[in-house]
Structure 1
């Protein structure tokens, strides 16, 4: 129950309890606290048993700790032998590349792998450097007009 309390913290709690309750009342307080904790545990266990009995025989092995999402996922992944396929799929999926491709598609640009080669042939209507200058400047995004009444 108190596995994460160190020795110094335990000594501090004992000294504080002696100062607050006094050495005469301390044993009685410890007994009362232990009875209270025991009653809470009994109440909790009976509530769990009532819930299990209401759920029926299909849920006899149901553990309330399984309701914690981390525990549930860990148990599901531990019992699954298909983790090799999952790791293989994860290694082939590059989220940054996918997001860049989506952003390029939304912005109307070609993605990096499908872009035109750097040495483009000269066009009839213009030279290659002129075309590159035009391509370097992306079109300015058009903003909707500002409406002071709407704000």
Structure 2
């Protein structure tokens, strides 16, 4: 929220509750926030205790997709993604007999244009499968 937004909210609160009930309202609001925070902390502690000692470093913030992606992009590799990438690279190198420097040099080019009678080539019809329709 920006400063003008906070000022508008503050003026509305003063107008709605008046200057005499404003301190009582603020005390009630802060007490409510404290109770909600303590309830949330207790729930998190119960979940951590239920997960066991293997998850003692577990943070609930890590479940947020934005945090997860940020950790992976910054190199914090708790899930072994770097090992997986290395394994895939080794597998590709083992399966690809061609050198990686010129991957498309010896491959036959494929013509992806639609064939027609105007090109001078006879039009090929795809095979018809009566069971598939």
Pick one of 48, 56, 59 that aligns with 2:55. Answer: 59
| Structure 2 match to 1:36 | 32
Larger radius of gyration: 1
Unaligned 5+ residue runs, structure 1?
A: 90-112, 116-129, 140-151
Pick one of 43, 48, 72 that aligns with 1:47. Answer: 43
C-alpha distance in structure 2 between counterparts of 1:75 and 1:66, whole Å:
9
| Structure 2 match to 1:108 | none
The Cα offsets for residues 26-70 of structure 1, whole Å up to 9 and x where unpaired, read as: 110011000000000000001100111111111111000111123
Q: Residue 39 of structure 1 aligns to a residue in which SS?
A: helix
| Structure 1 residue 76: Cα displacement | 3.2
Q: Residue 40 of structure 1 aligns to a residue in which SS?
A: helix
C-alpha distance in structure 2 between counterparts of 1:17 and 1:66, whole Å:
36
Unaligned 5+ residue runs, structure 2?
A: 90-108, 112-116, 126-133
- 1:74 and 2:70 are equivalent in the alignment: yes
TM-score for both structures, normalised by structure 2: 0.59
TM-score for both structures, normalised by structure 1: 0.53
Find runs of 4+ consecutive structure 1 residues off by over 3 angstroms: none
| Structure 1 residue 138: Cα displacement | 8.3
Pick one of 8, 11, 15 that aligns with 2:7. Answer: 11
CA RMSD of aligned residues (A): 3.3
CA change 1:30–1:114 in 2 (3 A) is same
1:106-117 equivalences under 5 Å are 113-115=109-111
| Structure 1 residue 133: Cα displacement | 4.4
RCO greater where, 1 or 2, for CA within 8 Å and sep 6 or more? 2
How many residues get paired?
98
